[in-house]
Amino acid sequence: MPRKEEGYSWIKAPRYKGNVHEVGPLARVAVGYAAGDPAIKEMVDSVLSHFKASPNVLFSVLGRHAARALCALHIANNLEQWVLELQPDMPVYVDYTVPEEGTGVGIVDAARGALGHWIAIRDRRIGKYQCVVPTTWNASPMDDKGNHGPIEQALVGTKVKDEGNPFEIVRIVRSFDPCIACAVHLLNHRGRELRRHIIA
């Protein structure tokens, strides 16, 4: 970060109630499994049975890839029912007038995980805009309390066979399906992008 003496990343370190959280397919599957959702439990148990593994194995490269595939399967299994719930005669948007002043929040669970947008309107213009995308959560750097983000935590203790080709590190990071270009951006008070850095 510019002008931050100990900064080493352009990514923010969002926390929920002060805690680090991983978002994305593994989080969705783990929450569904822990809640006892019958469809999720059946799919996960099938995968665990195939690998003769306990639920703890989910918190790994294997678990993240399996969760991504299970999320796709869950969507495929439910798509017909969800499509039939659509109401074609309903409006697809709502007319609105930009207010003189106001705030807004949009939160959704996107394919990669939790995605939030916050906006403040001043004089009918964007006064402040903030977004926290899934990779911001997962690739977040160490915070001021010394807590590492999910990707950093997953890398701790990893044994690398060849430092010239750290394939083990690449496998772990890619299992989070990161989008660094989306996670890294600085905005000024008018919401215009100042710079975008991509960390390879």
CA dihedral (76, 82, 87, 90) positive or negative: negative
- Three-class SS state of 108: strand
pLDDT in tens, 154-192: 999 999 999 999 999 999 999 999 998 877 754 433 333
Q: What is the torsion angle, in degrees rounded to the nearest 10, for the CA atoms of residue 90, residue 92, residue 93 and residue 94?
A: 0
CA angle 145, 148, 149 (to 5 degrees): 125
**Is the domain covering 1-200 a CATH 2.30.300.10 domain?**
no
Beta bridge partners of 120: 103, 128
pLDDT, tens digit, 9 for 90 and up, residues 126-161: 999 999 999 999 999 999 999 999 999 999 999 999
The whole-angstrom distance between residue 77's C-alpha and the CA centroid of its chain comes to 23
d(CA 66, CA 71): 9
Give pLDDT, residue 197.
32
Q: What angle, rounded to 10 degrees, do the helices at 61-84 and 38-51 form?
A: 150
